[in-house]
Amino acid sequence: MKSAAESLPLLQGVLDCIDMGALVLDANERVVLWNRWMSQHAGVCDAETRQRNFFDLFPEQRGKRLEAAIGQALRSNLPSLLSQTLNRWPLPLYSNKATAEKGERMQQQITVTPLHLADDERYCLIQVNDVSAAVQRENLLREQAVALRSQTLLDDLTGVANRRHFDMAIDRETRRARRMGTSLSLMMLDIDYFKAYNDHYGHQQGDACLEAVASALSTMQQRPGDLFARYGGEEFAVILPDTPGDAAVMMANAMCRKVRDLRIPHQAARMDEHIVTISIGVACSDSGQADEAYELINAADRALYQAKACGRNRVHSI
């Protein structure tokens, strides 16, 4: 049976062939083996590390999770896997010269394993995997998932919240208003004579009109809980949590003025001014008396109908 010392050249040759960092420490935490991968990515060759204490080479690891893992392996024969999430780049290892110059360490996953040899001497093997590519893929997938989720909640044309987003929000805010005893206001609005606008200017210009109106009105909701959404066609909705009816009416009148100020020509409008305008219906659930979502929507829709019946380009509240 070969002794550990006699086996070192063979072990060194094996470790130099593997595509990961590998080093072996003795019971005194001194480096016994240091493979070619470590030399390449740490910028320290095997000869410079031999018989040096690991923590002289990496002093910043004193008191860190890696020191505890090495201690467990050498004294208690317990293996450890350092979570990459909690220990992203513990060792100063770099993918190439360019990243080294920028100080960008590779993402690492480190495993510390006790070694059982015939001479009963204690050793531990430290394996370092470069998981940078895997982390990049994970981040990309996460970003794509967030983007996909946001796309499912946004209207393709206008970029504001879509009907699905509105349905989720009105249900959530109605339940919250009922639970907290707060007011909840809802506006339903649409562009006046929009069918006539489409017939006169064409659908492409009609889409541009929808985008312009949505862009102007969506900036008027400043609080995180407010939601401006496209309800369907030329109809939009605004959810205003913790907002009494009179405050909602004030905002609705400001929104009407905002659209008029755009001065979008509308020659087919049966109005004194041939510009694009909107009509708005406002409904509010008083504090502690929040209706069901569908009741609040129906009330705002009735108010919108009244605003249009009274001549359009105005606000009506219930």
Catalytic residues: 234
Q: Say if residues 13 and 23 touch (Cβ distance below 8 Å).
A: no
Our CA dihedral for 112, 113, 118, 123, rounded to 10 degrees, sits at 10
What helix, strand, coil percent values describe the chain, rounded to 5?
A: 45, 20, 30
Cα(first)–Cα(last) distance of the chain, in Å? 94
User: What whole-number distance in Å separates Cα of residue 121 and Cα of residue 118?
Assistant: 8
Q: How many CB atoms lie within 10 A of CB 55?
A: 17
| Contact indicator for 87, 15 with CB cutoff of 8 Å | no
Phi, psi of 217 (to 5 degrees): -80, -30
Q: Which of 168, 169, 187 is nearest to 258 (CA)?
A: 187
Distance separating alpha carbons of residues 286 and 300, to the nearest angstrom: 14
Tokens of 5: 């010392």
CA 295/CA 226 separation, integer angstroms: 19
Distance, CA of 228 to CA of 214 (rounded, Å): 9
Read off the DSSP letter of residue 266.
Answer: -
Q: Which of 164, 177, 148, 145 is nearest to 244 (CA)?
A: 177
